[in-house]
Chains A and B, each alone.
Chain A
């Protein structure tokens, strides 16, 4: 298993190289630069702009620029944001922490909701509990996150007042620190996490349900019945364990999904996360930030896939060998 992990990480290096070149060229092709929008043409002479462009190396050939960029990036320096005038790593680090905690909570909620509901749905398929759960699933699948948020915010944030409608922490709790800070963070995350989870659970519920229904018909279940295994144990020992394997391997992918941040979710809840940062960095032509984010997302995708593979190897004995 360690061999596999090391091999996968080694493959990551050429992948990232190719991606970074491609990415850099794309950003390079985009019209405009950071200076165009940032300096007031009525007070700044165009000659001064040209001077600055030369100074920042804007007219250097792309491979020179690329080598400069990637050389620094390898050392952990992604340059400074044109817009925020801060090191890219610091901007991303702040946002990444926000997104990470929100993502973690979302994944936790997804599986806390999906596994019991999926199991109930499969166990009692075509009976009232399954009908109710399936109704919810189809409803959730058909509802875009943003629409759900537009219903949840007025209800829970304004009418009931249970949750804040935006932000990531209460300023008072921020100054108090400690447990107050933590609780306030959690309080701010619950509604966005719930919104994302309610929609994503539907797929896992339906998948788990159909796995369970399939396994009920499998030969080894007939064998278990021929041994006199009671119905409850047939499900707990034989069916659920088999049905949960593919679902367990989804965990890696869902972590990738939520860690890249959701632009819509973060925007509508004005939650300062990476999705929101990514979109704003593109609209502001803040390429140092955008490039660094895309590289980070790529690493997330690969590690998420790797994580799924590792989980699969842990839970499925058929994959343990070699």
Chain B
């Protein structure tokens, strides 16, 4: 295991569309170290959430196929039976979801929803469970925890609900926490508070955090390492600092360029990436998947069968097209954007 807490090997997660399976996550391999914040970034539809849900096999319905292997503490999560996986879910790996309103049961009190994991995974007495829950409500910064304990989700604000959601994920002191867009559904001011909270808690609990987000500022603020996903593949992987200072892949660079605060296009122009992530059933399955969105790069600049290249220690890039990519070329073509 070589010091990794979670190892994802060649993960393929496919969804069934009109009878055929299409891979939303297409051959992803990752290693997560203990006590690190590992961010996965990308546009909507690039497979981030599909990847996050695959780890605990939480996809809805029968229309999903998850292949490959995900090793956690020496066991392949994908080959476990449901009841075996239930011992890992919530106890060793906690999950924080995007929308704290729909992710909480409207008919259960906050206290009961947090305690549910303790009831399943520990032999705490009712008093011990309540004590742990109140302690946790305190540490997630919940105002008036004693009151909130007996309240229902609809009585809380969005930020408080997300704090409750975080408490649910952390109650059994898991060694890995998966946060799937934890701030997307929140107001900007609340986003900052929740991020601060997540970072503080991560430092205290020393658990590894897999942070799924499309928000690069979130990555910059929290992550130690970053994987950039495009069309079901990881196109670039590096330490956060390295990635922000020395981005290689055209997609990574375009994403950074599209950030309003860092745009170098100047004079009020915001960089926009041409086109959109193709639908699952239209995705090119060979060659460089990003090539249709940078059409001015000649075809022979892409690899026919893209492989990962190490450009710096711990810094991997998919495909060789990055060597030919310059923003100025785009402006010379008809793809200039206002």
| A interface residues with partner B (beta carbon < 8 Å) | 216-220, 222-231, 237-238, 241-242, 245, 316-318, 321
Contacts and interface: CB of A to CB of B under 8 A. Distances in A.
B89 A228 contact: yes
Contact of B86 (A217, A222, A230, A241): A230
Contacts of B102: 218-220
Interface string B83-118: 101111111001101010011111110000000110
B56 A226 contact: yes
Given A217-B61, A219-B99, A318-B154, A227 B117 contact: yes
User: Among the interface residues A216, A218, A228, A229, which one has the most CB atoms of the partner chain B within 10 A?
Assistant: A228
B149 to A, nearest CB: 14
Given A227-B120, A227-B168, A242 B82 contact: no
A228 B117 contact: yes
A222 B95 CA distance: 10
Interface of B: 56, 58, 60-61, 82-83, 85-91, 94-95, 97, 99, 102-108, 116-117, 120-121, 152, 154-155, 165, 168-169
- The 4 A-B pairs with the shortest beta carbon distances in the complex, nearest first, are A227-B90, A228-B89, A226-B95, A228-B90
Nearest to A220: B105
A316 B107 contact: yes
Contacts of A224: 105, 116
A318 B121 CA distance: 29
6 contacts: A223-B97, A227-B116, A227-B120, A230-B83, A241-B107, A317-B106
A241 B86 CA distance: 22
B95 to A, nearest CB: 4
A127 to B, nearest CB: 12
A242 B153 CA distance: 14
A41 to B, nearest CB: 69
A6 to B, nearest CB: 25
Contacts of B120: 227-230
Given A217-B60, A228-B89, A228-B120, A222 B106 contact: no
A217 B82 CA distance: 18
Given A241-B107, A317-B152, A318-B106, A227 B89 contact: yes
B58 A222 contact: yes
Q: Which of B56, B91, B108: most chain A Cβ within 10 A? A: B108
Given A230-B83, A317-B152, A225 B89 contact: yes
Contacts of A216: 60
A222 B60 contact: yes
A240 to B, nearest CB: 10
Given A220-B105, A318-B106, 20 more contacts: A216-B60, A217-B60, A217-B61, A220-B103, A222-B58, A222-B60, A222-B97, A224-B105, A227-B90, A227-B168, A228-B85, A228-B88, A228-B117, A228-B120, A229-B116, A230-B83, A242-B105, A242-B106, A317-B106, A317-B152
A223 B168 contact: yes
Nearest to A315: B107
A238 B103 CA distance: 12
Most B CB contacts (10 A, CB to CB) among A225, A226, A238 go to: A226
A238 B106 CA distance: 9
B113 to A, nearest CB: 8
A223 B60 CA distance: 11
Nearest to A218: B102
Given A228-B87, A228-B91, A228-B121, A222 B103 contact: yes
A217 B61 CA distance: 7
Contacts of B106: 220, 242, 317-318
Given A220-B102, A231-B82, A317-B152, A226 B107 contact: no
Contacts of A317: 106-107, 152, 154
A227 B119 CA distance: 10
Nearest to A239: B105
A318 B117 CA distance: 24
A217 to B, nearest CB: 5
A223 B180 CA distance: 12
Nearest to A316: B107
A208 to B, nearest CB: 16
Contacts of B83: 230
Nearest to B83: A230
Nearest to A321: B155
Contact of B58 (A226, A237, A316): A226
A225 B58 contact: yes
A237 B115 CA distance: 13
B154 to A, nearest CB: 5
Nearest to B60: A217
